[in-house]
Every structure is written in structure tokens, then in C-alpha cells.
Structure 1
Amino acid sequence: MESTSFHLNKWLKTALLNFFVVALAGIILRYKINFPLPLISQKHLLHGHSHFAFVGWVTLALMALLVNYLLKNGLKTNYRKYHWILLANTITAYGMLLTFIVQGYALFSITFSTLSIFVSYVFIYFFWQDLRKIKEEHAVKSWFKSALCLWALSSLGAFTLAFLMAAQIKVQDYYFAAIYFFLHFQYNGWFIFAGFGLLFSFFSRQGNALLLKLNKALFLILAVTVIPSYFLSLLWLKLPSFVYWTASLSAVFQLLALFYFFKFFKLLKAETNGRFSKTTRYLWLLAGLSLVIKITLQFLSVFPSLSDFAFGFRPIVIAYLHLCFLGIISFFLIGHFNEVLAPYRKMSRSGIVIFVSGVLIQEMALMIQGLEMIGLNLLIKTNIILFVASIIMGIGLLLMVFKIWGIKKSIANSIHNGLTNT
């Protein structure tokens, strides 16, 4: 029995609420760096924070938007299965958050992590089958199919890490290689390819020849480089020369994408003028600039002196990861939410401005912290600034949650009704 019922708004609201929970965990992490909080393990909370951010926020949002793509294309299928898959994804996300906070890497947290991977496999299987039923839009489907394959591939990093821990193989290089494998194929695979697919799905029906050409060029460059560019994350290891040169060539080839990015955003500005809100275009521009910075940094990492600096200092690594997670993925998703939910309930513009401000302050503070580690003392209390930045981001997200959930209006109505009754 087919059911065309899929409550997109509910899942987008849930994903954004989860993002606020991620921000709350981040605030506590930054608080604990500056002030005593013995009840919570920093390491355990960090694991819960990162796992929940990936599964509860980005993955949930992308899955909901991908299902919406099927709906927009008029596909008739049983959408109820996606409701249960997204529900299972949300349960495993909260399961990981709570169990990691309580026990760190142990039986229950590893169980929920494994279940979340199995949920992803189920989604990949059903979405792939439904995607095949859509006869047109091959340019968009290529992005989605690649995203699904790379998402599945990223799980090998998680399983390798679990094996290393279970077998008690205490070789730090193996651990980092497995972690970076997972992160690379999540950030540069699943997140990026799904995001481009969603972006091009807005324009696929227009039949713009230049847009289709840019789509093919960008897809070719990113698809060819996504696997070899993984080794850019391992340049701190003593790699064989052919692996080093393969990684370096992929970084150079990725620079070609910048040419097409600039042409694409120029075309995007012309195509979307008056079609999308200024807020959405502002967020997508920031996401695009973040992507340009990321590709440039990947290219610079092939130089040994810069590679040692990038991988040798934790604040630089965190700044890079947050650039990808917040600057590219989250800015894009929030802009997408702003369009998908319109005209019924737009995102809070003030909340978006505050959130973006917090992200920019955080990135600058992390870079300053990295410079301090090489001896450049700027006499700035960066840990306090990072704590304040996390609060600013939390406030911005809270305003967005209030707006999208209609909480402000509900409170106002309750107060009004109370005053009327009295």
C-alpha cells in the first residue's frame, strides 16, 4: 500500500532542534575548558557532541530533504518507510549522545553507533531503489547516487576504529587514519555531494545549458578527486612517494573546481535574483566562500611546512573541521530550510545573523589560538572568546528554533489569552 504522506516540516524542525542541542553541548564543552565542572567528562561529552552533530543534525536534515526531492518529482511510493527510518535515526542519535556522555566508548555507545550505521544502510537501499524510478534529472541523480555510495564507504572508518579498540591495537597512527577516513567521506563525500545534488535540483527543470555544463564539470572534478584526496589527511604519516604524489595531484586538480565555482555563483546570482530570499543567497554565498577556503587549504596542505602546522596544532584542525561543518554544510542547510519552509514559516533572520556572527568569531579565535601555539602571543584570552562565541551561536539557533516551531507566537497567544480571561 502506497502512502504519499511525509511530514517534511516536522523532520526539519526536529533536525534544527537537534542542532540547538549540539550547540548546548558545545557551550558546556567550552565552559568546562574555562571553569570547573567535575560532574561531566570532557572527553565523553566531546564524543557525544560530535556523533550527535553528524547523525542528529546533518544526516537527519539531508535525509529529510532527499525524501522531499522524491516528493517534488511526483514519485509514488510508500513514504511511511522513510518516517520509520528517520525516527530510528533520531533514536540512535540521542542514544549515542546520552551513552557517550555517561560511559564514553563502551558497550552501549558502540551499540547505538553501530545501529545508526545500519539505519543509514536501510535508507541508502530504499532511497536508491526509489531514485531509480525517476527517469529524468540524470545530472542531479549522479550527485545523490555518489553521496549514498560515499556515505556507505565512510562507515568502514567507523568499523575499523571499533575493530582497533576491540582488538586493543594501540597504534595511534591507525586510530587517526580510521577517524580521518570516516570524517573525509562524510564531509567531502556524503555531505558535499548530497548538498550539490539538492542545490542543482532547484535549477534542473530550467534546462539552462550553461548550468548543466557547470554541473557536469563540478561533478567530474569532485568525483575524481574524492578518494585520492583522503590521503591529504594523512600527510603527517610517512607515506610512499606515489601516494604522496597522488594526493598532491588531487589537490591541484581540485583547484580547477574553483574556476567553475566562480562561474557557477555568478550564474547563480543571475538565476536566483528575486527568486530566492536575500537571507538564503547570503547563506549560500557564505557556504560557497567556505568551500573555496577549504579547497585552497587542502591544496596548501601538500607543502610539508604548512602540513606540519595544520596537523600539528589542535586548534587548526578544529578550525578546519568547523569550517566544513558550520561554514559549508550548516550554512547551506539553513539556507535550504529557509526556502523549503517558505512561505509558511521562514527562518528567523535575526537568529541567522547572530549564529553566523558566532561562527565567524569562533573561526577567528581558533586561528589566533593556532598562531599562539607557534609562539605569536597576541595577549588575547581565546578560550573565553570561544566560550562567548559558542553562546552566541546557541542564542542564534534558539531564535531559529523558536521561529520555526512557532514558540514565540504560542507564548504570545498564551499571555494574551491569560490577560483576556482575567
Structure 2
Amino acid sequence: MVFTTNTLHPETLGFQLEFYIQDTSNGYMEPQYIGYTHILPLNTKHTLEEKHLPLMSLKHKPIGKIAIHFMIAKPVKNIKFNMESCFQSHWKFLGVSLDVGHRGMGSSYKKLALVRENTVASLSAAAQNGADLVEFDVMLTKDLHTVVYHDFEVCLTYSKKRNDDSGSKLLIVPVKDLTLEQLQSMKLSHASSRLGEQIDLNGEDFHPADAQPFPTLQQCFHGVDESLGFNIEIKFPLQDETGVWEMEGFMDHNTYVDILLQAVFKDCGSRRIIFSSFDPECCILLQRKQNKYPVLFLSNGPTKRYTPYLDARTRGYDVAMYFALSEGLLGVDLQSECLLSDLGVIKRVRDKGLVLFVWGEDNNDRETISTLRKHGVHGIIYDRIDFYKTDKNKYFEAVEANGLPEMETGESSTS
């Protein structure tokens, strides 16, 4: 059971929970009051906590216990909001899917890409090749700067003692434990380098400044044409079904999201922005803390390619859809791995009035992009937009002539 409440003073708010069972021994469905418990005012210093409370009988004896998992969402500071513009629940769909450049021009450290991923140059190149939006990942440095980078870790090369002839080694370092100056100046390797071939993050010195890794969000806002929309993924570690966390010792959710939002609203200008995250709590906070930009819930779905997350809200397409509906999110961003074998998911999402973006390795194919476009997906995220982008103009002309295939005709917006 999930319930929410709003209060100006959470430190003084408590709850009394009363428990009933249905007694059918006399043939009637008569509820019987069996016990109660109290949730005393909560510790408001942390976003997420868990309590185990005794369930007391009417004779004041313990007859069981109940686990309470709670989240406290606090208002973001130093940002003033009004109703001048609000796109959280509005999406004007013109009958043709948006092309979204994955990390700009695509993943580059383990694939072939024309420009290094998640850089100002990559985002700008995607715009020049017809992208409507670009998707990229944002996280915080040790000195609280917002940097664009996908992984939680990097590898630092070090030399062992002189009497050890094994050569240099790689030390795994969390991005959150390095300052912006260190990230932008040190010689670093991709986190996957520890598993095999060393992948240099910084590359050759002759790369121009806008192609260097770890740009700040501010550099992206000012260095990329404002007509290009940003799909900003908020990175926050999750626990997988085996109990392993993607990263431990992260900042508290409220503080983390506040700093990111402050950075966005400082430099966003008139740019179109969509927030997204795999972390359900981040999605809730992004939705509640601001009323200007929409939020999409990212989901791997019933995946075999990745280790599933432990959180029940992340485990399937329908669960992701119901979570988005319950929190008033604009929509969902689903992986194409299993969606392509069950295209009915697209109609189920659209029938609920949700916006649907699709991401995944399988999208790097012209035929797949055309299939998703045909079925009315709102946004398609893929690598190498210069190579895989289909002719959207011809498709739009066909839509105008013949109507929208495989979906409801006459639709102009989802809200």
C-alpha cells in the first residue's frame, strides 16, 4: 500500500494505522478491529528510510510487526516557479516520431562513432545531422559540478613499486570522488578497461576543446544551439536483483536532485528539456520539485541483456507504465529489447495517455526505426544518427496523405 501526504512541517507529522480483518464465521463479511500502530514524526534529514513497527492488539500486546518504507520530498531552494510555462503533462504529437541522438552522435568508447560521446561537439554534430533532441547523462563531481558522463566510475593508471615488474595498473575511482579539474585534466581510462583492452577517455591532445570529455552542463547549454532539445538523464545508482549496488556512498536524493535542478534552471534559457531516470525516487522528486519540464521513467523492461534491478517498479513495461501514471509523469522510456517482440506494448502505453520513448541497442537499425515510427512511438533514441536516420519527411508526407498507421487517427496531443 502506498500513500502520500503534504505538510509544511514534516517534523511534527505522525500517523496512527488501524488494522482490521474480515470475520466470515457468522456468514457476514464483518470487519473486526484487531490492532494498531503509530508512526511518530519522521527523521527529515534523509530522503529514504525504513522503520519496523510493532503491531499492538487491543490489549496492548504485540501481535506482529509492519515495515514502513518512506520518502520525504523537500522543495528545491533558490528557484522560483510560476505557471508561465508548464510542459509536465503536455505533449504535442504531430504524427511523426522524434529522432533522439544517443549521447549525441552515439556511444564511442566501445563502438565506432564520428565524435567522442557526451561532449559538446557530439551534441552539436547530432543537431547538424537532423536530431530533434539529444540524450545524455548527468552526474555530480566531488566539488558539486554537473558533468556529462555515462558511467559511475573511471580508471586511473598508476605504477607499482620498483621491485614489481608487472607494469602499470588500473585503479577504479568513482566519478563522484574526483573534482571537475581532476576529471578534465587527469589521464583517465573507461571503467570497462579493467576487463580487457584499455580505453583512453581523454584521447589525443589535439582534440578540440569541445570534444573533450566531462563537459559541464553549463558548457553544454552555452555551447550547443538552443534549438536542439535536451533529454537529460539523471544518474543515480540502483541495486540489482543479486543485491549489488551500482555505486555506494552516494549523496542524499533531495540534495542531489536540488543541485542538478539549480544547474539546469540557471542556464536552460528557452531550450526544450525532458528529464529521465531509471531511479523511481529521482523521477518522483523531479516531478514534484519543479513544474516546467516533463519527466520520463526509464525502464530496462523484462531484460535478458542486463541484470534486472531489485526495485519492483523497474521490473517490467506494464509496471513502469503504472508507476508513471501513479506519479503523474509524462511517460516512459522503454528498452527495445523485448518491446520489439511485443509491439502491443506501444498501444497499451498510448491508450493510457502516456508519451513513449524507446531506447536500446536494437534501435541501431533503419528497419527497426521505421517500425517504431510506424507504430507511433513518440521518440526513438539511437546511435549514429548520421547513419541510421530514416527519411522522416517522406514518412510525414505519407501520414498527411493516408493518416496515421497502426494508431488512432486525428490525435494531436497527449496530456
Judge same fold: TM > 0.5, yes or no.
no
Range of TM-score over shorter length: under 0.3
Q: Which has the higher helix share?
A: 1
Larger strand percent: 2
Of the two, which has the highest radius of gyration?
A: 2
Q: TM-score, normalised by structure 1?
A: 0.23
